[in-house]
Structure 1
Amino acid sequence: MTTSATDRRAGQVAAEQNDRHFVTALARGLEVLACFRSGDALLGNQDIAQRCGLPKSTVSRLTATLTRMGYLIHVRESSKYRLGTATLSLGSAMLARLDVRQVARPLMQELADFARAEVSLGTRDRFSMIYVENCRSQAPHALSLDVGSRISLTTSAMGRAWLAAAPARERTELLAQIQQRNETRWPALQQGLDQALQDYRSLGVATSFGEWQKKVNAIARSFQPGGGLPPMVINCGGRASQVSQELLLGEVRPRLIEIVARIETALYR
């Protein structure tokens, strides 16, 4: 069992013990579905067991049940699973109700075309950021990311902007969990996060210049979408060979800040 899986299971066990309304079987089934990530074609029971931190026998029962309900599809040739169409209906229903996507998309595309970059809208899901909208320019060599993609919470500009906007108590608790999961990397991660919070206060955006991926630059700004939704973030970035730090901070940054303000104004009318 991996360290992250162990930590996740420990947290779940604590929740089960402390909350009589917690339905263990439901939580485990949802964990199985959540372990499928963008880019995963097929996963076997052993893969799922490692990611979820559950016994393989438990996972086998869960995948059999989820397959019968249409949430997973069993591929006989490989004895592995892919997400089923029932999960598509859940995701589509959720995305269709995100008014912020309709408001943000034309402004995001405008910025992507100006910067010849990629502009994305995302929010936090546990220890990563997940894309809920994505716009690309026509420039070649775009990043291979789309709706549903997950990126780092700690090293990406999007994740850092989310942390900068999070309530102090929530941020402190989350960072403590991240530290437990990344003891050896924590000093470097903390240094980057401290700088990111300082950047956000002074520049109005979080930055990541070669820290999420070595040859990728990005800046991001968070906002409150309202409607009971958690903070969301708009990120602009691309390959460093095409999207320089100077371009992002000098020309893109004021436009990103303006776009986020326009989105908030439109949402709160």
Structure 2
Amino acid sequence: MTDELSEDEPPATRQSNAKEDRHFVTALARGLEILSCFRSGEKMLGNQELADRAKLPKSTVSRLTYTLTKLGYLQYVDEAGKYRLGTASLALGSAMLSKLDIRQYARPYMQELADFSHATVSLGMRDRLSMIYVENCRSQAALTLRLDVGARIPIALTAMGRAYLAETSNAERNDILDRVRELDETKWPAIREGIMRSVEEYHRLGCCTSFGDWQHDVNAIAVAFRPTNGSSILSINCGGPAFNLSSDFLLNEVKPRLLDLVERLRRL
């Protein structure tokens, strides 16, 4: 099992859409795109790797990494000839997480559910076409998914992402689906079918499922909610290896506890 699977829209697509907006600052967007190339579990990237991921010329990336290093958002490692995130980037992430008071409240209940299910329970937020883990609890059992805070998973294929799509407005959902379609027209019919099925089951079962849809050996269920304080939609899932976490167990034993947890968080 891989640690993550990102499904963000191509930078070229985002930049072409932005050309119609006279307030859009392309240089700033490119700099932020470089920072977003660093994924959970990766320590260092070189200019060529960044250029490949950001779909930008290497010369442009070199100027951007130079500037970001000067500002402290990147740090150059001489021995490796590569960059890692600098303290300024880490400070931004830490500041954002510190504002999510719900993480501290949710953690003990998430851990309780993780211990009961012998699985992983995670809280996530949307970032473009991904969900990012902002809190993560796993049981002491050895067979759990190795995904930590900051990990990205695709919004269209995972239970956590599909729960978000079921909870959000029709307008936002349609906008997301349009961008998912642009990623892969060939796979789009199957992806759309899975999403529509999940939205229907969300209203029928109270949760979204992903039984082998993201990774063939991973099962998960998820519920999304919007806290009463008006903050952004959050999604919480429970998942793990399919051979250790059956669909029947998730729906019959885990789901009632997950719904109870979400109801506690919704009232915050």
Q: TM-score, normalised by structure 2?
A: 0.93
Moved more, 66-75 or 118-127: 66-75
Aligned residue for 2:187? 185
Question: Which residue among 164, 167, 179 is the counterpart of 1:165?
Answer: 167
* Residues 68-83 of structure 1 mapped to structure 2, 5 A cutoff: 68-83=70-85
Aligned residue for 2:217? 215
- Partner deviation per Cα, 1:87-140 (whole Å, 9 max, x = no partner): 111111110110111121111111111111110000111111110000111111
Aligned residue for 1:263? 265
Aligned residue for 1:234? 236
* Residues 26-41 of structure 1 mapped to structure 2, 5 A cutoff: 26-41=28-43
Distance 1:175 1:42, change over 3 A: same
Alpha-carbon deviation of 1:22?
A: 2.1
Alpha-carbon deviation of 1:27?
A: 1.4
**Pairing 1:14–2:54 present:** no
RMSD after superposition:
1.6
Aligned length: 262
Q: Residues 74 and 80 of structure 1 are in contact (CA less than 8 Å); yes or no, is this contact kept in structure 2? A: yes
Distance 1:102 1:198, change over 3 A: same
Higher-RCO chain (CA-CA 8 Å, sequence separation at least 6): 2
Q: Residues 100 and 225 of structure 1 are in contact (CA less than 8 Å); yes or no, is this contact kept in structure 2? A: no
Q: Residues 5 and 52 of structure 1 are in contact (CA less than 8 Å); yes or no, is this contact kept in structure 2? A: no
Inter-partner Cα distance in structure 2 for 1:39 and 1:194: 32
Inter-partner Cα distance in structure 2 for 1:44 and 1:181: 25
Distance 1:79 1:22, change over 3 A: same
- Partner deviation per Cα, 1:240-261 (whole Å, 9 max, x = no partner): 1211111100011111111101
Alpha-carbon deviation of 1:226?
A: 4.8
Aligned residue for 2:204? 202
Inter-partner Cα distance in structure 1 for 2:175 and 2:62: 33
Question: Where in structure 1 are there 5+ consecutive unaligned residues?
Answer: none
Question: Which residue among 244, 248, 251 is the counterpart of 1:246?
Answer: 248
Q: Residues 120 and 234 of structure 1 are in contact (CA less than 8 Å); yes or no, is this contact kept in structure 2? A: yes
Aligned residue for 2:57? 55
Question: Which residue among 117, 120, 131 is the counterpart of 1:118?
Answer: 120
Inter-partner Cα distance in structure 1 for 2:22 and 2:154: 33
Question: Where in structure 2 are there 5+ consecutive unaligned residues?
Answer: 1-6
Identical amino acids, percent of aligned pairs: 57
